[in-house]
């Protein structure tokens, strides 16, 4: 296996690009894919202050690394979810990366700062923990970014994540979600811009990137997410990709280029009717926002 660029020994092959790369040219490939995603979807301006949501996993640490390499002013935000050992080890990974490279990491802890954690929220709502978790993350990424003066929040969602979410939304024809499924969500009153610069890179590429860059990340997945629907979609897509490389990116980018627009109206209607949460001031359709209601129910209100 030889590097497509220099013909030296390759360390990774990427079947959907029909290409293999040596270590240096693979790192270059990753940077170029991020550069292209940012440019194609107009994700970032040169002097934006970027807040990278870092979980301690491979994707978000690699994203932080890549954005700094590309010259962006990017700080990290870690959210302590209170999921036992898993959260402790994620905290360590995020802190260690920031400390070693001298980057600034903001930390918010659900239990200490908001009086609840994901297990207590799941128990109180009698629902899968991922719902409360996703809601808490979306709310706090946005609030922290606004309060601390960032222009944009970047998350580590990669091509595999986007394809799985898209498949899930298509299977259930969630038209509102399909309308919002974009690699960049523009800012709006009360919302900062949200971007997914890893959309052109797969899970395997992100793991390889971290190994080559010496980034220690937490390998285990969240124990509360085990067996969720999302993971099932990933398995199905991996089987398809295996038979026919390029399927995932054709699915995601075909949707973005040719289909997404048709659902844009379904997403827009919801944002139009927003008022302010009477507790925290965040945009909401009701009197009290979903985050404050969750917090109240989970014992932190």
Please give the residue ranges that form the binding site for Zn ion (CB under 5 A): 3, 5-6, 8, 22, 25, 277, 279-280, 282, 289, 292
Closest CA relative to residue 191, chosen from 144, 155, 157, 158: 144
Establish if 183 lies at the interface with ligand AMP (CB under 6 A): no
Residue 54 CB, shortest distance to ligand AMP, in Å, is 5
Name the phi and psi angles at 61, rounded to 5: -70, -40
Closest CA relative to residue 87, chosen from 100, 78, 97, 77: 78
Q: Which of 81, 165, 178, 208 binds ligand AMP (CB under 6 A)?
A: 81
Closest CA relative to residue 38, chosen from 19, 13, 63: 63
For 285-300, give one letter per residue: b (16+ CB within 10 A) or e: eeebbbbbbbbebbeb
Residue 24 CB, shortest distance to ligand AMP, in Å, is 26
Residue 114 CB, shortest distance to ligand FES, in Å, is 15
Strands (E) in 46-128, as ranges, are 49-53, 73-80, 105-109
Closest CA relative to residue 77, chosen from 150, 157, 146, 141: 141
Could you tell which of Zn ion, ligand FES, ligand AMP, none binds residue 237, using a CB distance below 5 to 8 A set by kind? Answer: none
Work out the number of other CB atoms within 10 angstroms of the CB of residue 162: 24
Residue 118 CB, shortest distance to ligand FES, in Å, is 5
Name the phi and psi angles at 51, rounded to 5: -110, 115
Using CB under 6 A as the criterion, what x/- string covers residues 199-238 for binding ligand FES? -----------------------x-xx-------------
Residue 226 CB, shortest distance to ligand FES, in Å, is 9
Contacting residues for 85 by C-beta, under 8 A, at least 6 apart: none
Establish if 156 lies at the interface with ligand AMP (CB under 6 A): yes
Directed axis angle between helix 23-40 and helix 58-69, to 10°?
80
Work out the number of other CB atoms within 10 angstroms of the CB of residue 148: 12
Toward ligand FES, which CB reaches closer, 68 or 225? 225
Angle at 149 between CA 145 and CA 155, to 5 degrees: 30
Toward ligand FES, which CB reaches closer, 131 or 268? 131
Q: Which of 12, 44, 54, 218 binds ligand AMP (CB under 6 A)?
A: 54
Could you tell which of Zn ion, ligand FES, ligand AMP, none binds residue 84, using a CB distance below 5 to 8 A set by kind? Answer: none
Handedness of CA 59, 63, 64, 69 (dihedral sign): positive
Establish if 78 lies at the interface with ligand AMP (CB under 6 A): yes
* C-alpha–C-alpha distance, residues 277 and 20, integer Å: 51
Name the residue number minimizing CB distance to ligand AMP.
156
Establish if 91 lies at the interface with ligand AMP (CB under 6 A): no
Could you tell which of ligand AMP, Zn ion, ligand FES, none binds residue 289, using a CB distance below 5 to 8 A set by kind? Answer: Zn ion
Could you tell which of Zn ion, ligand FES, ligand AMP, none binds residue 224, using a CB distance below 5 to 8 A set by kind? Answer: ligand FES
Could you tell which of ligand AMP, Zn ion, ligand FES, none binds residue 118, using a CB distance below 5 to 8 A set by kind? Answer: ligand FES
* C-alpha–C-alpha distance, residues 190 and 291, integer Å: 14
Interface with ligand AMP (CB under 6 A):
53-55, 59-60, 77-79, 81, 137, 155-157, 161
Q: Which residues bind ligand FES (CB under 6 A)?
A: 83, 118, 129-130, 133, 222, 224-225
């Amino acid at each position: 296996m030889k590097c497509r660029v220099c013909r030296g020994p390759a360390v990774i092959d990427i079947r959907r690009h029909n290409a293999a790369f040596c270590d240096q040219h693979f790192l270059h490939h990753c940077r170029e894919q991020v550069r292209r995603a940012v440019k194609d979807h107009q994700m970032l301006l040169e002097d934006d202050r970027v807040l990278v949501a870092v979980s301690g996993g491979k994707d978000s640490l690699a994203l932080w690394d890549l954005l700094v390499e590309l010259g962006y002013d990017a700080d990290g935000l870690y959210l302590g979810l209170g999921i036992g050992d898993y959260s402790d080890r994620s905290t360590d990974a995020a802190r260690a990366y920031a400390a070693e490279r001298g980057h600034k990491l903001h930390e918010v802890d659900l239990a200490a700062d908001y009086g609840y954690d994901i297990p207590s929220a799941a128990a109180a709502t009698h629902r899968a923990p991922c719902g409360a978790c996703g809601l808490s993350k979306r709310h706090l990424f946005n609030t922290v970014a606004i309060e601390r003066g960032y222009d944009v929040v970047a998350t580590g969602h990669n091509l595999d994540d986007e394809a799985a979410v898209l498949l899930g939304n298509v299977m259930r024809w969630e038209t509102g979600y399909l309308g919002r499924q974009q690699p960049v969500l523009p800012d709006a009153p009360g919302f900062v811009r949200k971007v997914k610069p890893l959309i052109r890179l797969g899970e395997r590429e992100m793991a390889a990137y971290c190994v080559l860059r010496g980034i220690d990340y937490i390998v285990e997945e969240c124990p509360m997410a085990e067996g969720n629907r999302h993971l099932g979609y990933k398995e199905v897509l991996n089987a398809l990709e295996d038979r026919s490389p390029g399927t995932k990116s054709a699915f995601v980018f075909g949707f973005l280029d040719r289909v997404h627009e048709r659902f844009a109206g379904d997403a827009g209607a919801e944002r139009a009717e927003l008022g302010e949460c009477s507790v925290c001031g965040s945009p909401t359709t009701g009197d009290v926002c979903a985050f404050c209601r969750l917090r109240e129910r989970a014992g932190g209100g």
